[in-house]
C-alpha cells in the first residue's frame, strides 16, 4: 500500500507540473469592447498594428492597408467572407486586414515582459482567408516573428471559393528572453488583388516541460504493470 500511495503521489506531481507549464499567459479573442476612434492602431489587449484603422461609417469597401474588428468581414467589404468568428459565435468578433499590394504590414504586435527567461512558449492564432477565388487568386503570406527573428517557415493562406472559408489554427514555438516582442506579419505581394485575411484567438501558452511528461509516462507504465498482477 505504501508503494501504491507513493506512486500515486508521483503521478499527481507530474500531472500538476505539466498543467502548470501549460499555462496560458496571453489571449486576445477580440470580443471586448473596441472603439476605433478611441484606440487607433491599438487593440483592447494592448497589442498594436501597423495597419490603419478603417473609419466607422466609411462608405464603400475597406481599402488596402486598413484593418478593423468586426462580427462579419462581409459588413466592411462586399467581396469578403461572411464567416462568424473562429468559435462560431453569432456575436463574436475578430480582426480583419486588407493586405498591402507590395508592402509588408505588421498585423499584430504584442510585447510581453512577464515570460520566464529560457522558457519555451507557443504563439498561436486562428486565421481565415477573406477574399474568395474567383475573383481574387492572390494568397496571403504570413510570418510569425519573435524579437524580429522569423519563427519557422512562412504560412500560406490559400484563397478558396466563396462559402468554403474555414478558420485554421497555426502555432510557432519560441524561447523567452524576458522582454519578448511577438509579431504576426503580412508579407506584401506583387498582386493588386487578394492578400486579405482574418485573425482570431491569438494566444501565448507555455509549452509543457519534457521532463514532466516523461515522468508521467514512466509512472503510468509502472501503475499499469502493478494492476495487471
Q: Which three cell numbers stand for residue 200?
A: 482570431
Percentage of the chain exceeding pLDDT 90: 62
Question: pLDDT of 154-168, one tens digit each?
Answer: 999 988 999 899 999
Residue 59: is its pLDDT beyond 50?
A: yes
Residue 14: is its pLDDT beyond 70?
A: no
Nearest residue to 130 via CA among 187, 188, 54, 62: 62
Q: If DSSP codes are grouped into helix, strand and coil, which group holds residue 217?
A: helix
Q: Which domains does the chain have, with CATH numbers?
A: 23-207 (2.60.120.260)
Cα separation, 223 vs 62, whole angstroms: 60
CA distances (Å), origin 119, targets 177, 208, 221:
8, 10, 28
Q: If DSSP codes are grouped into helix, strand and coil, which group holds residue 60?
A: coil
**Single pTM value for the model:** 0.81
pLDDT of residue 216: 44
Residue 16: is its pLDDT beyond 50?
A: no
pLDDT of residue 128: 96
Amino acid at each position: 500500500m505504501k508503494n501504491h500511495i507513493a506512486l500515486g503521489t508521483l503521478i499527481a506531481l507530474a500531472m500538476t507540473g505539466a498543467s502548470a507549464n501549460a499555462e496560458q499567459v496571453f489571449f486576445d479573442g477580440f470580443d471586448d469592447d473596441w472603439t476605433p476612434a478611441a484606440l487607433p492602431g491599438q487593440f483592447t489587449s494592448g497589442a498594436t498594428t501597423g495597419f490603419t484603422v478603417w473609419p466607422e461609417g466609411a462608405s464603400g469597401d475597406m481599402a488596402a492597408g486598413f484593418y478593423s474588428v468586426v462580427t462579419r468581414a462581409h459588413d466592411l467589404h462586399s467581396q469578403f467572407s461572411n464567416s462568424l468568428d473562429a468559435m462560431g459565435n453569432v456575436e463574436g468578433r475578430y480582426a480583419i486586414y486588407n493586405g498591402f499590394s507590395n508592402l509588408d504590414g505588421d498585423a499584430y504586435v504584442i510585447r510581453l515582459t512577464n515570460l520566464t527567461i529560457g522558457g519555451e512558449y507557443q504563439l498561436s492564432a486562428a486565421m481565415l482567408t477573406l477574399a474568395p477565388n474567383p475573383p481574387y487568386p492572390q494568397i496571403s503570406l504570413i510570418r510569425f516573428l519573435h524579437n524580429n527573428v522569423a519563427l519557422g517557415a512562412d504560412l500560406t493562406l490559400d484563397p478558396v471559393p466563396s462559402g468554403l472559408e474555414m478558420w485554421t489554427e497555426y502555432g510557432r514555438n519560441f524561447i523567452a528572453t524576458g522582454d519578448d516582442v511577438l509579431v504576426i506579419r503580412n508579407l506584401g505581394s506583387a498582386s493588386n488583388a487578394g492578400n486579405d485575411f482574418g485573425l482570431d484567438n491569438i494566444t501565448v501558452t507555455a509549452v509543457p516541460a519534457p521532463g514532466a511528461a516523461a515522468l508521467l509516462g514512466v509512472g503510468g507504465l509502472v501503475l499499469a504493470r502493478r494492476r495487471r498482477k
